[in-house]
Amino acid sequence: MNKNTQNLYHQGVSIWLDNITRKILKDETLKRYITELGITGLTSNPTIFDNAIAGSDDYDSAIKKLGKADLSDEEVFFQLAIEDIQQAADLFLPVYEKTNGLDGFVSIEVSPLLAYDTDKTVEAAKEIYQKVNRPNAFIKIPGTAEGLPAVEKVIEEGIPVNITLLFSAEQYINAAEAWLRGVEARAEKGLNPDVKSVASVFVSRWDKAVADKVSKALRNNVGIAVMQKTYVAYLKFLQSAKVQKLMNQGVFPQRLLWASTGTKDPSASDILYVKELIAPFTVNTMPENTLMAFADHGEADKAMSRSDAAADTIFQKMMACSINHKLLAAQLQSEGAEAFIQSWNHLMETINNKRSQL
């Protein structure tokens, strides 16, 4: 086992891979990451699948076969994606069982075209989860105003959810409360209330967004400050009476997941958003190059503070630069949803073109 990733895991951080391709499944790279690097889960999104399918011929034979059926391009994609997710989920099943169902999850997202449609998101989540048919599968639903009511309903149905596209402590709390309401509804019905969930908060996009608006001293520090604020909110949520009452009924609390942890600035540390976000009972999902960098020269000796005093100082400096963090968080969420829609549309074009060519 790699000592750097092992040290990170011993600090209480679950290491997930933010990538999936048919290639890393077939050549057993993913299996090796599990055994040698100790990764305990995996996330995917439309951009990842777009890159995997458009950038290789690994899916061509399957697309050719499915292309003969009377399926839409979206239906072809979900068949391809679900096959990958099922294989990955099977690889992580021992982790899922070893951790009593807390860890070992893989994530698949509903169509980003549904980000602002509550009812269709619920329908899609139920359909995808049924088709994947694995206990350790997360359905990813964006934490938009329309997505959160869907989260609540899907949790109430007993479906594990990865709430994505969160950018601030305020957005995180809204997502956590949506999970809580869904779990409480199950408890009131006498159902098993233990429905797993993670809340995925995006880091690096903050620093990219403010790079030209802040002083050199603040660059690559804003994202960490926002996450520090979010972490303090997370600790308060875990300590709340409502959560602890449910824990007494056998519920594992929702975990905080650090997403978008690949460093965007080439002048900054390539493991910046890993070494600065070390906190127990959290998940860090890393792009492949970040995972390999941390395995090579990772540092896991500095735990996050449980105070947001330092973050307050950063926030004051942001305000002095005329940066309203709440407005920017809303903007980043909107831009993130739009970026996934663009990737989705490109993905559908790729599948359509390959069907025609093959």
Give residues with Cβ within 8 angstroms of 227, minimum separation 6.
201, 203, 258, 277
Which residues participate in catalysis according to the annotation? 140
Pick left, alpha or beta for residue 322 (phi over 0 → left; psi -120 to 50 → alpha; otherwise beta).
left
Q: How far is residue 350 from each of residues 80, 322, 337, 339, 340, measured CA to CA in Å? A: 13, 41, 20, 16, 15
Residue 197, strand partner residues: 161
Bridge partners (DSSP) listed for residue 101 = none
Instruction: Return d(Cα 132, Cα 44) in angstroms, integer.
Output: 14
The answer to whether 179 and 197 have CB atoms below 8 angstroms apart is: yes
Instruction: Show the tokens assigned to 151.
Output: 């989260």
By residue count, the chain amounts to: 358
Instruction: Return the SS3 of 141.
Output: strand
Q: Where are the beta strands (DSSP E) in 176-309?
A: 197-202, 255-259, 282-286
How crowded is residue 270: how many other Cβ atoms within 10 Å of its Cβ? 17
The terminus-to-terminus CA distance of the chain in angstroms comes to 42
**E strand or H helix that includes residue 123:** helix 118-132
* Among the listed residues 192, 195, 112, 114, the one whose alpha carbon sits nearest the alpha carbon of residue 153: 195
- In DSSP notation, 258-293 reads EE--S---TTS-TTHHHHT---TTEEEEE-HHHHHH
Cα separation, 280 vs 255, whole angstroms: 10
The candidate with the shortest Cα–Cα distance to 85, out of 15, 154, 136, is: 136
Element (H, E) at 14: strand 13-17
**At how many degrees (to 10) do helices 73-98 and 46-54 cross?**
110
Written as six digits, the tokens of 136 are 């350790």
